A and B are shown apart, each in its own frame.
Chain A
Amino acid sequence: MKIENIKKEFPIFNNKIENNDLVYLDSANSSQKPLVVVDRIYDFYTKEFSNIGRSVHYLAVAATNLYENTRTAVQKYINAKDKNEIVFTKGATEAINLVASTFGQKHLNEGDEIIITELEHHSNYVPWHYLRKNKGIKINFAEIDEHGDISLESVEKQITSKTKMIALTHLSNVTGAILPIKEITELAHSKGIPVLVDGCQSAPHMKMDMQDLNCDFYAISCHKMYGPTGLGVLYAKKKWLDDLPPYQGGGGMINEVKKNDISYGELPNKFEAGTMATAQVIAFNESINFLNKIGIDNLINHENDLLNYGEEVLRKNNSVKLIGNPKKKGAVLSFTIDGIHPHDIATILDEDGVAIRAGHHCCQILHDKLGLTASARASLGVYNTRDDLDKLNESINNCKKIFNK
């Protein structure tokens, strides 16, 4: 599969958006879907649909196998040791909530501390805040440096004898900083602290290797990985999934149910209560196939080229200020323009068919720290081209013209 022609695989680019060709630069929010994924959902519902895991009829058995095939495909894609270390959730948000809730219930007590960073998306802060409210734990923030980066040292500074968990992003959705997760995990483990990684932004853009990273938990959002919405993956080391109590109770996750007691099912069923997002899970296998066909090295080269080109173009544009200049950066170009509010930028760019995001990108702590109420963000996907970034720049110029800048 040639990366230059990859746009053709995505039917959305065949349509005009209000008479414009779509320049989609909002993949950090959610990626577009290749036809193979859309087709897979259609085929499953029209030819193969059944619920999984319960009935013994032909369709049920076939659907169960398809569902489990995706679990194996994810295991391989992220190089997890065991397929039962893959839990499907309704999203990365639920994956983090699952860990915060069950880990908190079993292992956190008043006065215990956890560490997150100033870069975190609200979904890796709010679930821990619940524990601050309910259990009286303390949340310490590893601070960013002037480049919008988090170093090993900034995390180390926050570690105390009471630290019970370090939860942090792999790739910032605003500054693009790629965090030294492997080193942080090594340090944390040397002090007996488990590590949860929010992998929403990294999983679509980086090579995934759980055994190498060695973190304890890793949350993935499938809709940012060319997959369906309503689906996430929690990777967790088997020892944790065995240790933690179930998150939700319901059908499918039990072993035996009596009037006076209930025992829970084995992995991975223990954490997958109720009817799961079956069609989405099955279609996600096609997203992984799609990524494998491109090849992670090709994808990384392509996106690095775009990122460098985008930075170069925007740096040359007077009055555009890029946010964050981390040592290792991935896939996002956040910026502000003096005197033009990001919402106005986004509305004007939209008129040219250029889709970006404006706001705090669910990172208010970070924006407060940067002294901004909002920023504009162009984020990259595998289908983007240098031409898209030229159009972004042209449209920014149009915006400056309207505001007489």
Chain B
Amino acid sequence: MNLKELYQEIILDHGKNPRNLGKFENFNKDAKGHNPLCGDKVHLFLKLDENKKVNDISFEGEGCAISMASASIMTDLMKGKSEKEAKEIIDKFLDMIKEKDDINTNLLEEDEKTKLMSLGGVKNYPMRVKCATLSWHALSSALDDFQKDVTTE
């Protein structure tokens, strides 16, 4: 693993031109993520429909290429996923980013997996793992809050 593999085109592209950037109207869940040590911030907006499927998702934030690319790729592939599927993908992604070599799920297309695997290079840069996982933890927390809301109803 070298730096070229970490800063490959796909990450530079998503880092520079993040998809799904900006708040959208009528979101029904949001969550903030913050890395207190380095100052990276992400604010995630989510709309789950009545069947608990991700109808729309976006984010606002500031951070390094890794954290922006990760949020961009994540929001792209979460659209249309059910809450349960989203949680499984989050778990599989976090497994991969920390230790595993692969993303073991059939909820994602091969090209989606390839995109996520491009973030796997941070394994060799332990201080940067938190950059890659920030938006994923924010999504996880947004989903959990939604569940609480649902339970209260």
Q: Which A residues contact B (CB, under 8 angstroms)?
A: 339-344, 347-348, 351, 358-360, 364, 367, 373-374, 402-404
Contacts and interface: CB of A to CB of B under 8 A. Distances in A.
B128 A343 contact: yes
B64 interface: yes
A374 B41 CA distance: 11
A359 B12 contact: no
B37 interface: yes
A374 B37 CA distance: 10
A273 B43 CA distance: 46
B131 interface: yes
B39 A374 contact: yes
Contacts, number: 52
B3 A359 contact: no
Contacts of A359: 37-39
10 contacts: A343-B38, A343-B128, A344-B15, A344-B65, A344-B66, A347-B6, A358-B38, A373-B40, A374-B38, A374-B40
A360 B35 CA distance: 11
Interface string B35-69: 00111110000000000000000000011111010
Contacts of A373: 39-41, 62-63
Given A373-B62, A403-B12, A344 B7 contact: yes
Interface of B: 2-4, 6-7, 12, 15-16, 37-41, 62-66, 68, 125, 128, 131
Most chain A beta carbons < 10 A, residue from B4, B64, B131: B64
Contacts of A364: 39
B21 to A, nearest CB: 15
A354 to B, nearest CB: 13
A99 to B, nearest CB: 25
B5 to A, nearest CB: 11
Most chain B beta carbons < 10 A, residue from A344, A364, A402, A403: A344
B12 A347 contact: no
A364 B64 CA distance: 17
Contacts of B15: 344
B37 A341 contact: no
Most chain A beta carbons < 10 A, residue from B39, B63, B131: B39
